[in-house]
Structure 1
């Protein structure tokens, strides 16, 4: 099913691109006149003078005696020179009406013929012999191309064998030709629907429709898609107490729990990637594809399921873990851009200080609101494109978004600040699409408040372990790893810390100077790794993928002396976990935080 979904998604992208091309080319055909598409803006029709009877009488009949089955004998004058056109069984022959020799179009004559059909403001630039050209589809032979220095880059083609103008071409014709190619999906220039590409596109579209029906049937049969709008109840067992919650059947268990303010962990916002929203149901409950990937066989056998993967029509009774979390009103006291795309937000709690451990996170309750997008809220990376971005107000419904604390509790000032790093992501259409939380938070002004719930999470230091810490992070994964590093350094006897951090370029290195300072004091071995080649600034450090740089280090050191902490983008996280598994590191010595960041 995963492969089918992947193939269906990419097929839809290909079809969407082709639909866009059809729309663009169709609009072009509707707006541009036919004469302009033919490239005949400066073309004038030149009538050829026919030969008189007297001129025919002066010719020698022996000139055409060798031709068999002659069907037509015509005469005309081309630039004052008589020409015979003889159609016979073998084809068409052209003779010089003065000598009977085969017709020859020399360069000067070709120029004169082209000039007789040209009415534009330009003058001829050059005459070039040609035997084939993309301007004339299917033509091969001997001829001349005469270029004119007008505003349309006109080109006139003259056939050497017959002395006739083959056609006019110019820049508007080239544009029209490409529009025909895109519209007919015929990139040979033949302008025909009868070719392999259009047949393949038809088969691809048919496959897209069939695979859509297959996926729809599969989702409906497994309960991953629900269309029932009726109300339903959910019985929740927590800490020996039972609660009955009411929701709609198409809602997920996670949505109902959050709607009724029943604390439950969730890092990915219900996307089925973090595996934090585990609830205990029945071992006979349906198992989804996401659960097979994220939960162990023993957990599935015991009845554990993901609350974001089941609706109330599938799970009516669940048991959840009692969490010591509270709602807090957080007031924004400071902001700054750490990188062109990553913003640091500093909050203080309006009630009592929030007690938390390094590596934990808060769920921000992004309210239903109308957010005004302003230029000063747009990160540096998008400033040049600001005038092209949607402006004005953006409406969205209430959502939850999770962000890890970027500092340990003991490392902030007396106001007990909570520090978060938020990666700006332009919002897409739809209330639950990515970008809503980041846009809202990055648009907040100092002094504004927002509700947050927590702390959540078990991405914590193994304090009892004697082993050193090996941190591997990337992108916004800096936040919990920085907090863990700071918390470790606050201990009376801190363990040695190795930190490999990956970014695309020099500008995206977060807290770079701070970590360099810690390294200079010998408190941490810090290795920044850039994945993109540096052309605009000098970079003497490590380059490539961060997990590969970490592997090179571990190959020269005793990796068994480390506990590993990982946080970063999904691909980096997946590659790093696979690398450590191949190295032989036990799972219990690897802790990671996967919020799909």
Structure 2
């Protein structure tokens, strides 16, 4: 595989190599995927370390045992005939507040009727409050029902009423006003559980439920794939150009002296421990050349001029240095293996900082 360059013009007027484009892509993919991996780890630890009872949504929820309705049931022939055209699926007898109720399910919807009168089920605030009290065993006082106007995650057949309890966990009770069904109990602690689930499963889209294969999971999975592939390419490219700085891959130290001079050809220092890059050799034991990227070839602050026989520019040189600088023998000292020779500082900032580093 050839590590060629891509036709993309950089600030230096040269062509920006595909390796640098991939390195930028790799960095941002690593940030995105790494952040989500961190969220997975943190939320997974939270689920394992937090007592499950602390996250319980139903500490005060009770199951009310319904008594057999005392009133006589109305005949259902007329009711069934009225909705026969919709395609009747089921007629079920249930109860609300100890009063018999028919639940009629057709192919279109489910309707509820009082079984003693066949009138459509309709609940007032007092009845909704009574239903909530039947499902609540706590000591907190329940508020008046509040009909929610926004979308809810509950599978309700009609408007949803919410009642709050003045207890230590802030219990909220949700009731389907069309059927009198208690949809759920929630509280501040269960809200934390829902938040952890949302973060863990990347379920950031509201009210879509937990789906292990939704679009965002697929996007992050593809991003993780490209992160791995770009990492393999960058690793191979660095190995190809001799940029890997792993100890067991380094070449033996070069024998000889490396002289460093000012722009006016005044001697600054000599170095004999030429192991690693020029930057590493010069900064060994003390920082003499400042950088912002630590020798990653991204800041361009470590550039030096090779007085004789400059090495061939690599991708990072082409990206960070102008054509004039390249022609003058200026290279990034972090990108080339150190050898005996002569180099010069090239910026005023390097000259200002050098005396301070030697004090």
TM-score by length of 2: 0.75
C-alpha distance in structure 2 between counterparts of 1:237 and 1:252, whole Å: 12
CA deviation string 1:566-592 (max 9, x = no partner): xxxxxxxxxxxxxxxxxxxxxxxxxxx
C-alpha distance in structure 2 between counterparts of 1:78 and 1:361, whole Å: 83
C-alpha distance in structure 1 between counterparts of 2:82 and 2:321, whole Å: 90
CA spacing shift, 1:157–1:223, aligned 2, 3 Å:
same
C-alpha distance in structure 2 between counterparts of 1:280 and 1:216, whole Å: 31
CA deviation string 1:290-335 (max 9, x = no partner): 43355554553454434332114xxx4422359xxxxxxxxxxxxx
C-alpha distance in structure 2 between counterparts of 1:297 and 1:70, whole Å: 82
Compute the displacement of 1:24 (Å). Answer: 2.1
Q: Is the 8 A contact 2:61 2:185 kept in 1?
A: yes
Indicate whether 1:360 and 2:342 are aligned: no
- Which of the two has greater strand per residue? 1
C-alpha distance in structure 1 between counterparts of 2:101 and 2:188, whole Å: 33
Compute the displacement of 1:173 (Å). Answer: 1.6
Matched residue, 1:426 = none
Q: Which runs of 5+ in 1 are unaligned?
A: 323-358, 365-401, 403-451, 454-597
Compute the displacement of 1:254 (Å). Answer: 3.6
| Matching residue within 219, 232, 237 for 1:200 | 219
C-alpha distance in structure 2 between counterparts of 1:18 and 1:232, whole Å: 42
Matched residue, 1:231 = 252
Matched residue, 1:9 = 27
C-alpha distance in structure 2 between counterparts of 1:234 and 1:278, whole Å: 21
Q: Is the 8 A contact 2:303 2:331 kept in 1?
A: no
C-alpha distance in structure 1 between counterparts of 2:325 and 2:97, whole Å: 93
SS in 1 for 2:145: strand
Compute the displacement of 1:138 (Å). Answer: 5.2
Higher relative contact order (CA 8 A, sep 6+): 2
Q: Is the 8 A contact 2:69 2:98 kept in 1?
A: no
Q: Is the 8 A contact 2:303 2:330 kept in 1?
A: no
| Matching residue within 210, 214, 221 for 2:240 | 221
Compute the displacement of 1:120 (Å). Answer: 1.0
TM-score by length of 1: 0.47
Matched residue, 1:550 = none
C-alpha distance in structure 2 between counterparts of 1:252 and 1:17, whole Å: 32
Question: What is the CA RMSD across the aligned residues, in angstroms?
Answer: 3.4
| Matching residue within 154, 171, 184 for 1:154 | 171
Compute the displacement of 1:77 (Å). Answer: 3.2
Q: Is the 8 A contact 1:282 1:302 kept in 2?
A: no
CA spacing shift, 1:81–1:290, aligned 2, 3 Å:
same
Equivalent residue runs for 1:333-482 within 5 Å: 360-362=352-354, 402=357, 452=358
CA spacing shift, 1:51–1:73, aligned 2, 3 Å:
farther
Q: Which runs of 5+ in 2 are unaligned?
A: 1-18, 260-264, 346-350
